[in-house]
Structure 1
Amino acid sequence: MDNMVDSVKVGITGQGGFMGSHLFNFLGIKEDIARVEFKRDFFHNKEQLEEFVASCDVIVHLAAMNRHTNQDVIYNTNVELIDKLIAACYATRTTPKIIFSSSTQEDKDNLYGKSKRDGRQKLEEWAKKSGAKVTSMLIPNVFGPFGKPNYNSFIATFCHKIVNGEKPTVINDAQVNLIYINQLSERFYKEILNTNLKNINSFVVEHTCTKQVSEILGLLNNFKNQYLDNGQVPNVPLNSFELDLFNTFTSFIPKNYFPKKFTKHTDNRGAFVEIMRSDIAGQSSYSTTVPGITRGNHFHTRKVERFAVISGKASIKLRKIDEDQVFEYILEGDEPAYVDMPIWYTHNITNIGDKELITLFWINEPYNSEDADTYFVEV
């Protein structure tokens, strides 16, 4: 459990899944939240599940099966998870507030939607009997970085295919209501802190945009052409669907894509290197670093950032904040190159040479001390 004083103790079933991992990381940057760790095995161990339940002020129930060749397996699995959660609450005589992730498919004729509807009713019945609070959030289509292709969303599938040289096709060019994972996490956070006196609440989470499937595919193909093939940041304005989609797209790029070498033009006068080309403005800066010194050790949740080494020798390291694997890139000014920093990856740069290191930085938004989107975590 995070060591927080006077904070709300929050556990997330399905913590390792797409929504769960994003929400867990998002809550980690909130000073009024203490996260209670959940592991998938807890649902197979009565004692561990009861200990988890008894440790929480609020439980966000996200654990669920979305896809399976047998629809009955989906239904039975999802309902069984809720039965076990309720049984653990009764066994421990605890009444944590439960926030249930339901779906706008509740009213559709499929067993996944039925499992969500029946699960919600079970939780509400438990709340009536025990005096607990249950809030059900009916969630539209969610997209964001690190999604599982062919499982979480069609956007994850499109991104995966495009990055791997495939050409996705649109089967049903429908309009889709969408919400970005960061916006959904913010909505969960507000509900965690909500002190509504009603014991039973249910509402539809409003989607933040509506897009045609073919429109999204067109944007992703443009990202490939501009960014993946030519290193140019496309037109992704601040606080836009395009920026959210771009950060989703770049999360699928394999780590061996970097470092990318610049084209260096030389003649009798010296050399010329184009560092950055973008369809949007941003902030450019540079730093000098003496040998042996490390800068950074922080991550961002929305910013697009480029490190370009033009003189000296540097080690750039990245680590996804909820994983242990560290990626390292060695860059030297004799062969100028750059590495872009993915969101939710803590990163740093160290001068590993014997002379001054000069690094140029570009970021898609000017620094704002009141909303820095910069969180310090050691790589």
Structure 2
Amino acid sequence: MLKIGITGQAGFVGSHLYNTLGLFQEQFERIDFKKEYFEDENKLDDFVSQCNVIVHLAAMNRHNDPQVIYDTNLSLVQKLVNSLNKTNSKAHVLFSSSTQEERDNLYGKSKKEGRELMIHWANNSDGKFTGMIIPNVFGPFGHPNYNSVIATFCHKLSHNEVPTIDVDGDLKLIYVGELVDVILTEIRSGKGNPEVLVKHTSESKVSQILKFLEMYKAEYQDKGIIPCINNKFELNLFNTFRCYMDIKNHFPVKFVEHTDSRGSFVEIIRLGVGGQVSFSTTVPAITRGNHYHTRKIERFAVIKGKALIQLRRIGTDEILDFYLDGNEPSFVDMPIWYTHNIKNIGEEVLYTNFWINEFYDPSDPDTYFENV
């Protein structure tokens, strides 16, 4: 079993990689890393000595002073190299560089020179090195005004602010889940490669991305409509947007109920995509679910009875509780990477409608069990 450590474990790409490794516990053991290890040689040495594989993601992306970025990033690489030498490590080290290597800026220079330091270490040791040159990365849980323009746009729109475009350039992009797949492929290969050009999976102008996100805000956040999604990039962009919403205060969303002498009518969902609709009955005190998805869009709509729906983002401790009552029909949507469940907390049978954007495929269910 490979023992894998990730510098920058708590960061944007690092947290996605760490959580995905957790899906393959029969193959990988995760060695936890904390950023303060870089300030304590003994702790860093202990971490390095435990790892068969080290993915070096720790880096500074933005700062008012570019020289601070350069100095910080080179210092982190040098500290890692010193520890590798000190512990006589034979680890496979994977390094995240950037397509900005060839640009005339100190961030790109720090990544290029950092990769060269790692190549020098590998050439003079029994270790292996893979240097990945990565395009712009986007996805859920990135920091606005830091990780990407998409993170900034998503945060601003979902919090009713107005984003602006500084330069309407063409962006070559890769979704964070796709980047994690590339990293896992390199890890599994067990082969070093000093220059892996990670291919972008989509390309778009900044203005077009903003148009998509504005549409998701208007259709999904404001009206509850699942928008038309034409390809994988749009699905990834939509799932990214959903994770920037104020989930705690947005859900549950009450339906518009039309009532007359015959009874009532409630429209459950308007779709720009297909998918699968189902319903369930749940007897009192029973809990369903306790699983999460990494790509699927899902809606729970309570139409009769009383329910508690709980969500918790993987890797965090905060549990979000949503109380729904069929007397006022309402729904909660499940963001990706949030484990969720539904419990009948009433005294009668609970009736719930479920919609999900994919037909169920037992060979690729995208369903991972973890208690909320």
* TM-score with structure 2 setting the length: 0.98
Mapping for residues 105-120 of structure 1, pairs under 5 Å: 105-120=100-115
By how many angstroms is 1:200 displaced? 4.4
Q: 2:43 aligns with which of 23, 27, 48?
A: 48
Q: Does 1:28 align with 2:25?
A: no
By how many angstroms is 1:174 displaced? 1.2
Kept in 2, the 8 Å contact 1:127–1:200? The answer is no
Q: What is the count of residue pairs matched by the alignment?
A: 370
SS of equivalent residue, structure 1 residue 28: helix
By how many angstroms is 1:91 displaced? 1.5
| Counterpart Cα distance in 1 of 2:190 and 2:166 | 44
Q: Does 1:310 align with 2:308?
A: no
By how many angstroms is 1:306 displaced? 0.1
| Counterpart Cα distance in 2 of 1:112 and 1:173 | 21
Query: Which amino acid in 1 is paired with 2:178?
Result: Q
SS of equivalent residue, structure 1 residue 118: helix
Q: Does 1:281 align with 2:274?
A: yes
| Counterpart Cα distance in 2 of 1:223 and 1:75 | 37
| Counterpart Cα distance in 1 of 2:120 and 2:301 | 58
Query: Which amino acid in 1 is paired with 2:337?
Result: W
Match of 2:131 in 1: 136
SS of equivalent residue, structure 1 residue 322: coil
| Counterpart Cα distance in 1 of 2:123 and 2:235 | 43
Match of 1:254 in 2: 246
By how many angstroms is 1:169 displaced? 2.1
| Counterpart Cα distance in 1 of 2:277 and 2:2 | 39
Match of 1:194 in 2: 189
1:281-302 deviations in whole A, cap 9, x for unaligned? 1100011111111000000000
By how many angstroms is 1:195 displaced? 2.9
Kept in 1, the 8 Å contact 2:130–2:194? The answer is yes
| Counterpart Cα distance in 2 of 1:63 and 1:180 | 19
Q: Does 1:211 align with 2:204?
A: yes
Q: Does 1:12 align with 2:19?
A: no
Following TM superposition, the consecutive aligned residue runs of length 4 or more in structure 1 with deviations greater than 2 angstroms are: none
SS of equivalent residue, structure 1 residue 100: strand
Query: Which amino acid in 2 is paired with 1:273?
Result: V
Q: Does 1:356 align with 2:346?
A: no
Kept in 1, the 8 Å contact 2:159–2:246? The answer is no
By how many angstroms is 1:222 displaced? 0.6
Kept in 1, the 8 Å contact 2:296–2:356? The answer is yes
Question: What runs of 5+ residues in structure 2 fail to find an aligned partner?
Answer: none
Kept in 2, the 8 Å contact 1:75–1:111? The answer is yes
Identity over aligned pairs, percent: 54
| Counterpart Cα distance in 1 of 2:45 and 2:90 | 12
Match of 1:3 in 2: none
Which shifted more, 22-31 or 106-115? Answer: 22-31
Query: Which amino acid in 1 is paired with 2:223?
Result: N
SS of equivalent residue, structure 1 residue 20: helix
Query: Which amino acid in 2 is paired with 1:245?
Result: L
Match of 1:93 in 2: 88
| Counterpart Cα distance in 2 of 1:49 and 1:281 | 50
Tell me: CA distance 1:245–1:86, structure 2 relative to 1, closer, same or farther (3 Å).
Answer: same
Question: What runs of 5+ residues in structure 1 fail to find an aligned partner?
Answer: 1-6
Kept in 2, the 8 Å contact 1:124–1:200? The answer is no
By how many angstroms is 1:170 displaced? 1.9
1:184-230 deviations in whole A, cap 9, x for unaligned? 0000000111133xx54212100001101111111111111111111
Q: Does 1:345 align with 2:311?
A: no
Kept in 1, the 8 Å contact 2:92–2:190? The answer is no
* TM-score with structure 1 setting the length: 0.96
By how many angstroms is 1:171 displaced? 2.2
Kept in 1, the 8 Å contact 2:259–2:265? The answer is yes
Match of 1:123 in 2: 118
Q: Does 1:150 align with 2:145?
A: yes
Q: Does 1:375 align with 2:332?
A: no
RMSD after superposition: 0.9
Kept in 2, the 8 Å contact 1:226–1:233? The answer is yes
SS of equivalent residue, structure 2 residue 137: strand
| Counterpart Cα distance in 2 of 1:104 and 1:122 | 18
